[in-house]
Amino acid sequence: MKEYIIEKQTGRAFEVQKGETISVIDIEGKQVADFFAVNANNYNEFFSAGVTVDCKESLLITKNDTLYTNLYRPMFTIIQDDVGVHDMMFPCCRPETYEYFFNNGKRHSNCFDNINQNLQELGVPYFNTLQPMNIFMNTSVTSEKKIMIEPPLSKPGDRIILKAEMDAIVCISACSVSEGPCNNWECKPVKVILESSVNRDT
């Protein structure tokens, strides 16, 4: 078992083998974690939020659901989910995001850079667009089709556990938005635990 703390507004990449589990834990509560992954053996295959929604035919992704790649192949299965509310619609925030909404994009920490930089350290090419699974992010769609963002429902210690269905390189970024309700107006760290299937069975 390996444990890591991802400090607020930073990211980290991990190599995960098929059958291993990765737990993402909200240490203090109400903190979003951007989750993205690529096939360790083919960098042209990667997690797709859009394909996952297409396969599920729902924006609700939770326990026993599968995360799919852009090639419509199973990548992870959610085996535990304490919250059950995550976002599959929003792309990673990036400097342009903060400039557009808050006029403060210059040098603002962001998940787009956090994920790309950490993946590149493990040899993964740069992605021009990143649409992750925004773990614990609380979004909804009104009857007028307007997308609402509210504070996460996650409490301290809440977690989601995913089992790898293929060898993958995963990157997780502790969301950098402190300007709105996405992280309840305060950025915080998250914990990640990697375990083999043997460890989880004992």
Q: Is residue 84 part of a domain?
A: yes
Tens-place pLDDT, residues 66-103: 999 999 999 999 999 999 999 999 999 999 999 999 99
Quick one: what percent of the chain has pLDDT higher than 70?
Answer: 98
Residue 87 three-state SS: strand
Residue 200 pLDDT: 53
The domain tally of the chain equals 1
Please check the confidence at residue 202 and state whether its pLDDT lies above 80: no
Give dist(CA 198, CA 178) in Å, integer: 39
Q: Is residue 1 part of a domain?
A: no
Quick one: what percent of the chain has pLDDT higher than 90?
Answer: 96
Give dist(CA 85, CA 81) in Å, integer: 9
Q: Is residue 88 part of a domain?
A: yes
Q: Is residue 114 part of a domain?
A: yes
Q: Is residue 201 part of a domain?
A: no
Cα atoms in the 13 Å half-sphere on the side-chain side of 145:
0
**pTM, full prediction:** 0.95
Residue 201 pLDDT: 47
- Which domain covers residue 139, as residue numbers? 11-186
Q: Is residue 199 part of a domain?
A: no
Q: Is residue 78 part of a domain?
A: yes
Which residue bears the tokens 């989601």?
160
Residue 105 pLDDT: 81
Q: Is residue 191 part of a domain?
A: no
